[in-house]
Amino acid sequence: MQRRDLDTRPSGLLLQAQARLRAQARGLGRRRLLQGLGLAAIAGPFLRLALGGRPVRAAAGKAQRVIFFYFPDGVVGPSQDGEASKWHASGSEHDFSLPAQLEPLAGHKQDCLFFNGLSMGPADSGSHPGGAKKLLTAVDGGFGESLDQLLARTVGADAPFRHLYLGAMANQNNASGDKHISYPSPGVTITPEDDPRKAFDLLFGSGSGGGDPDGGPDPTQVTVIDGVLGDMETLRAQLGDTEKSKLDLHLEALREVEKRIKSGPTGTCVDPAVDLAAVGDDLYDPGNFPAVLRAQTDLMVQAMACGLTRVGVLQSSNHTSELIMSRFAGSEMYDPNFDMRSHQASHYGAKHDEGKREYADYLKQRRWWVSQFSYLLDQLAARPDGDGTMLDTSLVLLCTEVCDGNTHLHDDMPLVLAGRGGGAVSPGRLLSYGGDRHAGLLAAIGQALGADLPTFGDSGSGPLGGVLT
């Protein structure tokens, strides 16, 4: 806050630097130019750029995209008997250390914001489903639109795919709706695509996202869409408000596909580098889970790298997960002779007891989830975007539906926000709060994406202080 006040004051140095940038911009492509103009408006990061610091986006920069990465069943938080959390970082904003569960993020410590003291509120505290309902809606009982859906229909609406919801065994055994975290309308969830092959087909194959890059729109498909739109309008005129709002969601979806079809192939990648060979036939074989999640993660990154979407949700399994994580060959919790499920391990008991199998496995499992998140960040960081990488221009939220898996509480939520969001966020810090709502973090993410979102959730929370630069 202080820094911004300081930096926005014009100074000789600033004016000098702006002039230099304008001169540089003449030699840049259009995209760079736009970024340069953005930089010129706000001086802080620009100064660092001009003075040879790490290339970062403007303070009021916008995140190009957001990914919500969900894993089930919480973390090793404070134990029932009062032992300290094994998840939450300790220290000050700029000088802090990561506990064991977050170790896989050590290489990305400077890319992440860590949080202490964020709450989802008291309603349903103690419950997995209650937490999952609030996680992205910030509304008790899930009676609200989730942030991913809101962003998809606003700032993400111009992308070929407004929303990409990929899962790994997230629909297992006909999971009930309260196990899914994306709410297009209050109280109603949609289901993720659990099959990487189908997701690939949708994005890059014969679905409307792919096709011949040289060909125009398929004229027949255009005729078909127009015909369907005609029927939609006729039907809509016959409906009452409730059914109309349902049909409007359908209509929006149809418009999205129409745009994809009428503008011809939309993706900028013809031959996306996603290897699905490792994905076995049985999507619900727990031994196959790591390969499925890996493929879905790769697809998510690839879709975003190709400019196909700006809003993504990756859902790993679902709450109270029956996923047998001891079947993950090569992982540290692998044990073919003993089945340890996620939810089973989460009830490790009242204490952090290293000698207890559930506890030991639970720690390993949580580390594994974090390592998967870390992999996602690696992939984003490996792809150039503008002056930096996709991680610089993105925001990625690591989230789960409860704090400690044994107590199920909704306070001190284990959330990690990664990426610089195009300069909207300055990561590498530990932010501590006194029970502020996580809704404020969601509002901040929304604003970083450019959404007009003064508040979010039923707590009416504005952007959490300290998150946005």
Residue 279 C-beta: closest distance to other proteins, Å = 16
Part in contact with other proteins (CB under 8 A); list of ranges 42-50, 244-252, 292-300, 420-428:
244-252
Task: Enumerate residues 291-310 that contact other proteins by CB under 8 A.
Answer: none
Among 9, 26, 238, 277, binds other proteins (CB under 8 A): 238
Tokens at 387, concatenated? 């002056």
Task: Enumerate residues 185-214 that contact other proteins by CB under 8 A.
Answer: 185, 187-191, 193-194, 198, 201-202, 206-209
Part in contact with other proteins (CB under 8 A); list of ranges 40-48, 226-234, 382-390, 447-455:
226-234
Within 13 Å, how many C-alpha atoms sit on residue 129's CB side?
9
Bridge pairing between strands 388-389 and 384-385: antiparallel
**Dihedrals phi, psi of 277, to nearest 5 degrees:** -60, -30
Q: Cβ(116)–Cβ(89) under 8 Å?
A: yes
Binding flag, residue 227, other proteins (CB under 8 A): yes
Distance of alpha carbon 290 from alpha carbon 334, whole angstroms? 12
* Interface with other proteins: number of residues (CB under 8 A): 113
Binding flag, residue 180, other proteins (CB under 8 A): yes
Binding flag, residue 222, other proteins (CB under 8 A): no
- Whichever of 362 and 369 has its CB closer to other proteins, that residue is 362
Task: Enumerate residues 319-348 that contact other proteins by CB under 8 A.
Answer: 322, 324, 336-339, 341, 343-348
Binding flag, residue 350, other proteins (CB under 8 A): yes
Residue 274 C-beta: closest distance to other proteins, Å = 18
Q: Is 458 helix (H, G, I), strand (E, B) or coil?
A: coil
Binding flag, residue 385, other proteins (CB under 8 A): no
Part in contact with other proteins (CB under 8 A); list of ranges 9-17, 60-68, 417-425, 430-438:
430-438
From the list 465, 461, 413, 416, the residue with the least C-alpha distance to 439 is 461
Part in contact with other proteins (CB under 8 A); list of ranges 5-13, 100-108, 372-380, 402-410:
402-410
Residue 311 C-beta: closest distance to other proteins, Å = 12
Among 116, 302, 379, 400, binds other proteins (CB under 8 A): 116
- Whichever of 294 and 438 has its CB closer to other proteins, that residue is 438
- Whichever of 200 and 368 has its CB closer to other proteins, that residue is 200
Task: Enumerate residues 77-106 that contact other proteins by CB under 8 A.
Answer: 77-82, 85, 88
How many other C-beta atoms can be found within 10 angstroms of the C-beta atom of residue 25? 17
Residue 194 C-beta: closest distance to other proteins, Å = 7
From the list 413, 319, 307, the residue with the least C-alpha distance to 127 is 319
Distance of alpha carbon 370 from alpha carbon 391, whole angstroms? 17
How many other C-beta atoms can be found within 10 angstroms of the C-beta atom of residue 17? 19
Among 40, 47, 100, 232, binds other proteins (CB under 8 A): 232
Within 13 Å, how many C-alpha atoms sit on residue 338's CB side?
10
- Whichever of 84 and 270 has its CB closer to other proteins, that residue is 84
Part in contact with other proteins (CB under 8 A); list of ranges 1-9, 23-31, 114-122, 266-274:
114-122
Binding flag, residue 33, other proteins (CB under 8 A): no
Task: Enumerate residues 129-168 that contact other proteins by CB under 8 A.
Answer: 129-130, 140-141, 143, 161-163, 165
Task: Give 36-101 as a DSSP string.
Answer: HHHHHHS-HHHHHHHTT------TT---SEEEEEE-SS-B--S-TT-PPPSSS-EE-SSSEE--GG
From the list 415, 376, 421, 444, the residue with the least C-alpha distance to 119 is 415
Residue 232 C-beta: closest distance to other proteins, Å = 6
Distance of alpha carbon 223 from alpha carbon 239, whole angstroms? 25
Cross-strand pairs, 165:
313
Among 35, 64, 125, 447, binds other proteins (CB under 8 A): 125
- Whichever of 18 and 116 has its CB closer to other proteins, that residue is 116
Task: Enumerate residues 442-461 that contact other proteins by CB under 8 A.
Answer: 458
Q: Is 425 helix (H, G, I), strand (E, B) or coil?
A: strand
Binding flag, residue 276, other proteins (CB under 8 A): no
Distance of alpha carbon 396 from alpha carbon 384, whole angstroms? 16
- Whichever of 19 and 239 has its CB closer to other proteins, that residue is 239
Q: What is the largest CA-CA distance in the chain?
A: 70
From the list 286, 256, 71, 75, the residue with the least C-alpha distance to 181 is 71
Distance of alpha carbon 378 from alpha carbon 108, whole angstroms? 8
Tokens at 286, concatenated? 């727990």
Q: Cβ(59)–Cβ(469) under 8 Å?
A: yes
- Whichever of 159 and 418 has its CB closer to other proteins, that residue is 159
- Whichever of 110 and 174 has its CB closer to other proteins, that residue is 174
